[in-house]
Structure 1
Amino acid sequence: MTARGFGWWGRRRGAALDIGLGVLSALECAGEGIGFAEASHAPGAVGALFGLAAGSTLVLRRRWPIAVVLVSIAVTPAEMGYLMAVVGLYTLAASDVPRRITTVLAGMSLAAVLLVTFVRLRQDVAAADFDPGSWYVPLVSVFMSVGLTAPPVLLGLYIGARRRLMESLRERADSLEQELSLLADQAEQRAQLARTEERTRIAREMHDVVAHRVSLMVVHAAALQAVAPKDPQKAVRNAALVGEMGRQALTELREMLGVLRAEPVPPAAVRPPAGSPAAPPAGRPPAETPAASPAAPVPEDGPGPGLGGVEELVEQSRAAGTAVELLVQGEARAYAPDVEQTAYRVVQEALTNVHKHAAGATVVVRLAHRDEEVAMQVENGPCDAAAATDARLPSGGNGLLGMRERVTALGGVFVSGPTDEGGFRVSAVLPAGR
């Protein structure tokens, strides 16, 4: 017994079949050997032993098919081993033995049977009392030799080709299964990566939307606490500003969550007819949808805040008590929506960082409209340490990272770092992308 099966056979059934065929072949050759020994004036026991030894080689047909066929050819002159010859030729043709060897051995077996049959028929015809004609012996010899050789060889070739085809199909099926499994794993990895990127994008958008206004609210609240005992009227104005900014932050947050919860709607279901008064401008959603608000946070591939809102950001920071100067170079023009939104978010986050970490510092916001790009820079001077301590604004440490991701995703350049005067500078350059 081996790990594969029984002996060199793959299964017990194959071993039982070959052993059974070997026994039948040995008995056949033993009987024919006795007749051959008596015709040769030799002891019958010698012929029987010779036939048993020759016929039992059929057991080895799966392991050594060439040897079995050679033995069958060798005993053909003794007119024995017909079963061994037929089964051996079939096994040889069905195996992986090169076709040249199969052809040569099949030809040798055909020639041996033809010669033996021809000689035996001539002897029988000569001993008979009638003359069948000169054509009888050659024709019958050819029919018998071809009948004993051609069918097993052709059947073996067919079975061998079919077996190889099935193995090829099985290997191809296994290969396809492995490829499908690999594709499924890759699809799962892509889906996981897409989910991770979407969570990162949503977190960045929420940060940009809420952090700026909440920072301004904290700054105004600190100012309100400072001026309330001295100037009640100014305290009232600051309180109104805090309330307004809080409402704006809640509105933007609600609109962001509404976009995230919204079910996908086919475009045909929401597109008004051509020429309808309710039809929005090309590239913008209907006015009644939450995404129509200029400050509504929507996915980055849709319309959103742009460079036109930078002046409003500056005014809000000025209202919070920060000295902000806005400098614009070049002629303002429209850019691609993602470029506009990214530029807006960079300025917004830079001003938010000023409120968090450099309260009381003067700020200069520069916008430069160039031929193939738009550049922005937010630079603040040294901060008022006491004011920065009073603000006590927490920081998650992701603001600069989010700005860099946004800019580099569009093929732009982002640089940030401290200045020689003790301040901080944030610079970004984006391709125009009209």
Structure 2
Amino acid sequence: MTSRSPLAHDRSPGWVGHVVMFVIVAVYACLQVLLYAGGQRTSGVLGTAAELVFNLVVDGLLLFMPSRPRTAGVLVVLGAALAQVAALAAPGLLTSTDALYAGPVLLATPVAVWILAYLRPMPTAFACVGALALLNVQPWAPTWAGLYVGAVYVVLPAVIAMYVRARARLLQSLRERVEIAERERHLLNERAIAAERQHLAAEMHDVVTHHVTEIVLHAGALRTSTEDEAVKAAARRIGDLGSRTMVELRDLIGVMRSGERATPAQETYDRDGRGPAPRSTGHRGGDLAELTATAGASLRVGGDPGTASPVISRAVYRVVQEALTNVRKHAPGARATVDLRYRPEAVSVEILNTAPTAPTDPSLVASGSRAGLTGLRQRVSLLGGTLRSGSTEQGGYLVTASLPASVPAEDHRERPAPPDLSPPRALT
């Protein structure tokens, strides 16, 4: 939708234009009354106040100039022509014969010319302005006074109005060009970001998912080929973690590719390496309860978990996982609380831990990449949410995240059954 130029002819100029015209007409009326009181009278059959009444009527036409400039301009031209005809046929009928200038001069002429030259298209404005110039110059009886009146009363206002109009058009054109350039720059930035996301998604799919799939396949092969129960359990655990990682990667790649669904090449494999694994693993509420229970944290859940889409649920799981991992690394002995709230439009999670009660393990702290929260913040931002973290006054640490209940790219996907987010069992 294009914005309307202020230079376009507006038949509804608003109260400002009418107030300005009312003030101008009032000033002209006062001048006419002062001239009449000063002795400028007519001597025709219409009486001594004919010029005063005639000029007041013409001045009143200015009130219609902002809304109907063509009609009012034509009437002003007709009024000037009537005054000229009356001055030639019956001197003193509509104009005083004692005026300094022999021809009739209408005070409304400059304002009418200005509005016509500024608001109306060029052919209409030129026609009216040209007619008024001829009537004031009086080429049938040329004088220097007539030339001066025509130049000052008609030509000069028209030239100034056309200059102001051209300048306003130029400024409007420059503003529109700046807006177009800004939109194009924004579009180019969006395209560059989208292209970079596509590139990163392709790299993740070609490199990371390939190696993780190999890990899952080898874990499945090891599980079926060994008789050692401990090795089988470890292989099962490796395969389970690999499958969860593939699910996370698949959904993250889908978001990075502007909501594209996973292709068959992106499907994960089950623990035995024999085929595609179920699509919902890592985000399940039971896993979240198990995660918090393993970390010794308490879990509080409010609202309906079914309002959250799978991608959002997995992002919440990843936030809780990273926060609890940081608690184990940086706050030994601290108590952690996970507060999860589901709303129809958003999901919020809060992980709060108390101050540590034991010294940290330097080797455990050094094992981290120090980019966990940064990566989570980028992931949450990519999904349209926000993540904040910081120390508390009591010496603990607080991580809060707020995400939309679903992302637009997921609207076409079938939502799974609501996960079971029951509180974790008590630790013994």
Task: Please say which structure displays the higher CA radius of gyration.
Answer: 1
TM-score relative to the length of structure 1: 0.41
Structure having greater relative contact order (Cα 8 Å, sep ≥ 6): 2
- Higher helix residue share: 1
